[in-house]
Amino acid sequence: MAVAGAAGRMGETACRAVKQAEDLELVARADPALGASLGEALGQGTEVLVDFTVPYSAVANAHEAVAAGVHVVIGTTGFDPGELDDLRGAPANVFIAPNFAIGAVLMMQFAQQAARHMPKAEIIELHHDRKVDRPSGTAARTAALMSEAAPAMPRPPIHSVRLPGLVAHQEVILGALEQTLTIRHDSFGRESFMPGVLLAVRRVGTLEDSPLVGLEHLLT
Ligand code: NAD
């Protein structure tokens, strides 16, 4: 596999995780900061591309990879996954997850469940101050899933906090008569995302539906 954004915080962590996995081989790192183009990375027997770049390049990278017959796992956030709908039926698959941490996936599921029973909710997402997009992809997806589960509930507003010292955190607060319920998830380091990334890399080639959004679809 190859990693796009290999010089970035998530890309570097993903390269390390792949190197430690016995069944996977890292064949290329693409990143303008390394002077290494995606085109070169795709031409080295690469079967899967992992993308942790920036919103505007993730969509273009996915199109380039699929055109080269390479499956894509996208962790980059801040773009509309609908921009990849034209890749439906393409010979290579695309998997997108706004959050690869298992705890965050469970937080979204619990929030969806709670939304059916409580009338109002708000979301606070907290990230390091070098994150380029806001609201976070996880918060946007949580709000969408809660609205799907409880169409009568007003769409939960999202508050974004950006501070040094934070990694990736989210609180969903639901309110009802004389009570609140708080569901909170914290990623304290980027390793927390890696089991989910490796699971997606192993499974992306066998998806029955593509593009597919959300790690929950791969958890059995
Ligand atoms: P970063 O700024 O540290 O790294 C981004 C890297 O992408 C940089 O090295 C940059 O040079 C490179 N880049 C830019 N354009 C490129 C292109 N066209 N091809 C290849 N590389 C390119 O950012 P980060 O903190 O590593 O985050 C990357 C993305 O991952 C963000 O969108 C962030 O929100 C997302 N993220 C997702 C998850 C998840 O679980 N899905 C978790 C954390 C972060």
87-114 pLDDT, tens per residue?
999 999 999 999 999 999 999 999 999 9
170-220 pLDDT, tens per residue?
999 999 999 999 999 999 999 999 999 999 999 999 999 999 999 999 997
Evaluate: CB of 4 within 6 angstroms of ligand 1. yes
Ligand 1 centre to CA of 168 (Å) is: 14
Q: Which CATH class is domain 2-96+192-218?
A: alpha beta
Ligand 1 centre to CA of 181 (Å) is: 33
Evaluate: CB of 102 within 6 angstroms of ligand 1. no
- Please report the DSSP string for 116-148 in residue order: TT-SEEEEEEEE-TT---SS-HHHHHHHHHHHH
Residue 142 · residue 79 · CB < 8 Å:
no
- Rg, C-alpha atoms of the chain: 18
CATH 3.40.720.10 is held by the domain 102-188: no
Query: Buried b / exposed e across 6-44, counting CB within 10 Å, b at 16+?
Result: bbbebbbbbbebbeeeeebebbbbbbeeeebebeebbee
Per domain, the residue ranges of the chain are 2-96+192-218, 102-188
110-125 pLDDT, tens per residue?
999 999 999 999 999 9
Instruction: Output the pTM of the full model.
Output: 0.93
